[in-house]
Amino acid sequence: MSLVTDLVCVCCGRVSADAPLRCTCEACGPARGILDVRYDMAAARKTMTWEALADRPLNHWRYRELLPLDDCPDWPVGWSPIVEAPRLAGELGVRRLRLKDEGRNGTASFKDRASSVGVARALAAGATTIACASTGNAATSLAGYAAVAGLPAVIFVPRTAPAPKIAQLLIYGATVFRVQDSYAAAYDLCSQACDSFGWYNRNCAINPYLVEGKKTAGLEIAEQCRDDPPDWVAVSVGDGCTIAGIGKGLEQMRELGLIGWRTRLLGVQAAGMAPVAKAFHGEACEVNALPGTLADSINVAVPRNLDKAVRAVRASGGRYIEVSDQAILAAMRDTGRLAGLFAEPAAATAVAGVRCAVRHGIIAPDASVLAMITGNGLKDIDAASRAAGAPVDIPPRLEEVRRYCEQ
Ligand SMILES: *Cc1c(COP(=O)(O)O)cnc(C)c1O
Ligand SMILES: [Zn+2]
């Protein structure tokens, strides 16, 4: 049995019961009525102890007390490594930097945490087909875990979806509808299709149970850094579910008495698409005037989890910050060359945010920082090529190599 007690609306506080297809608050609607899942924490405290955790498998199902499932599958998701990056720390001007490498998840992004929970919930609800509209990692991870579970997946992508991600979707056996229109049109068509055909709609940002999957990264940070907490955790922000989930995971570990420390959250957005950062600082934001960013995974003009994302950072005593696309490309290069990690633009955004926060005196030079590397760089080869430049073309002659090296 899951320990979910109920769901509470972050907007009006209304409480609703756990139900297979519950999504948003009936009173507030899908735009504002984002729900938060609550658990019987007293019961969780009894069984989720350090002793018990020591014997559990190294994947995110180890936190089953805090997941919205009666039975957890055993798919390998989560427990991504945290690596020290001393040379990158030096470059950014901070005493210590650790990177949590989410690119090592099954489909190479952080979204596996959410999608694996989504697919498990769909199976439990008796779904026969799962669908979503997305261009990016949410769709590819959904298709990947649907394949693992043997559940047919239908994905609606907009005309502009990047080729590598479409290839990944097709390889996982999903039916991919490339809608000859915008993302909004693909999203609407997906909703209509789900209503008409009874498919399980894995709405990426508003489904409260998916945030519970993202939360496991916060639970893991608490466990992996148990005796050695970071002062800051840096996270890139699009819809805001990732940072809200990490904040919730860390708080729940405190509530269970498993850790006694707090860490500040640094929310990082691309300057060309920073509605959450602007809301955090009380600045007006004209959605249609936002120029956008090359970091496609966080190129989100209407963040679906704005309230949760702002609150999580505020509650942690943290900050939001904006970085330019140039700074994101530089962070991709530095993360590769100084830490050996290939980050997609949205992942390198967290690293760019650390550099910027140190420069502005938000993060002190003697601080210990953990940055979330949310997705692998192979997801977006065009951006990587822009960041890294071209190889040296030469004829097959040693003197050419020597000439180059002596330059
Ligand atoms: C989705 C995503 C994010 C941001 O997560 P949100 O929940 O949209 O804030 C960051 N990085 C990568 C690689 C992502 O795919
Ligand atoms: Zn409500």
Annotate 285-326 with DSSP letters as a single string: --GGG----S-GGG--SS-TTHHHHHHHHHHTT-EEEEE-HH
Q: How far apart are CA 280 and CA 144, in angstroms?
A: 34
Q: Is the CB of 237 under 6 A from ligand 1?
A: yes
Residue 154, beta-bridge partner list: 131, 175
Q: If you take atom 14 of ligand 1, which residue's CA is the nearest one?
A: 297
pLDDT tens digits in sequence order for the chain, 407 residues long: 899 999 999 889 999 998 877 788 889 987 788 899 999 999 999 999 999 999 999 999 999 999 999 999 999 999 999 999 999 999 999 999 999 999 999 999 999 999 999 999 999 989 999 999 886 899 999 999 999 999 999 999 888 777 888 999 999 999 999 999 877 788 889 989 988 999 988 875 678 898 899 999 999 999 999 999 999 999 999 989 999 999 999 999 999 999 999 999 999 999 999 999 999 999 988 878 888 999 988 888 888 788 899 999 999 999 999 999 999 999 999 999 999 999 999 999 999 999 999 999 999 999 999 999 999 999 888 999 999 999 999 999 999 999 999 98
Query: C-alpha 272: how far from its chain's center?
Result: 19
Q: How far apart are CA 335 and CA 329, in angstroms?
A: 10
Q: Is the CB of 111 under 6 A from ligand 1?
A: yes
Give the position, in ligand 1's atom list, of the atom nearest the Cα of 236. Answer: 10
Q: If you take atom 2 of ligand 1, which residue's CA is the nearest one?
A: 297
- What is the phi/psi pair of residue 364, to 5°? -75, 150
CA of 159 to the centre of ligand 1 (A): 21
Could you give the domains of the chain? 82-106+208-388 (3.40.50.1100)
Q: 255-258 — which CB contacts under 8 Å span 24+ positions?
A: 255/41, 256/41, 256/44, 256/45, 256/48, 257/45, 258/48, 258/49, 258/50, 258/222, 258/223, 258/226
pTM equals 0.95
Task: Identify the pLDDT of residue 26.
Answer: 87
Reading the block at residue 258, the tokens are 């498993």
Q: How far apart are CA 176 and CA 199, in angstroms?
A: 15
Task: Identify the pLDDT of residue 369.
Answer: 98
Task: Identify the pLDDT of residue 135.
Answer: 67
CA of 241 to the centre of ligand 1 (A): 8
CA of 322 to the centre of ligand 1 (A): 15
CA of 6 to the centre of ligand 2 (A): 14
Q: Is the CB of 368 under 6 A from ligand 1?
A: no
Task: Identify the pLDDT of residue 204.
Answer: 56
Q: At what angle do helices 112-124 and 208-224 cross, to 10 degrees?
A: 130
**Which amino acid makes up residue 182?**
S
Q: Is the CB of 267 under 6 A from ligand 1?
A: no
**Ligand located closest to 26 CA:** 2
Q: Is the CB of 135 under 6 A from ligand 1?
A: no
CA of 131 to the centre of ligand 2 (A): 26
Which of 215, 236, 265, 302 for a ligand 1 pocket mutation test, highest count of atoms within 8 Å of Cβ? 236
Q: Is the CB of 344 under 6 A from ligand 1?
A: yes
Reading the block at residue 255, the tokens are 């509530």
Task: Identify the pLDDT of residue 30.
Answer: 77
Which of 239, 268, 305 for a ligand 1 pocket mutation test, highest count of atoms within 8 Å of Cβ? 239
Give the position, in ligand 1's atom list, of the atom nearest the Cα of 136. Answer: 15
Environment class of 280 (CB within 10 Å of its CB; exposed 0-12, middle 13-18, buried 19+)? buried
Give the position, in ligand 1's atom list, of the atom nearest the Cα of 375. Answer: 13
Give the position, in ligand 1's atom list, of the atom nearest the Cα of 237. Answer: 9
Task: Identify the pLDDT of residue 296.
Answer: 85
Q: How far apart are CA 238 and CA 196, in angstroms?
A: 30
Which of 242, 310, 335 for a ligand 1 pocket mutation test, highest count of atoms within 8 Å of Cβ? 242
Q: Is the CB of 343 under 6 A from ligand 1?
A: no
How many C-beta atoms lie closer than 10 Å to residue 81's C-beta? 11
Q: Is the CB of 215 under 6 A from ligand 1?
A: no
CA of 242 to the centre of ligand 1 (A): 6
**Which amino acid makes up residue 135?**
T
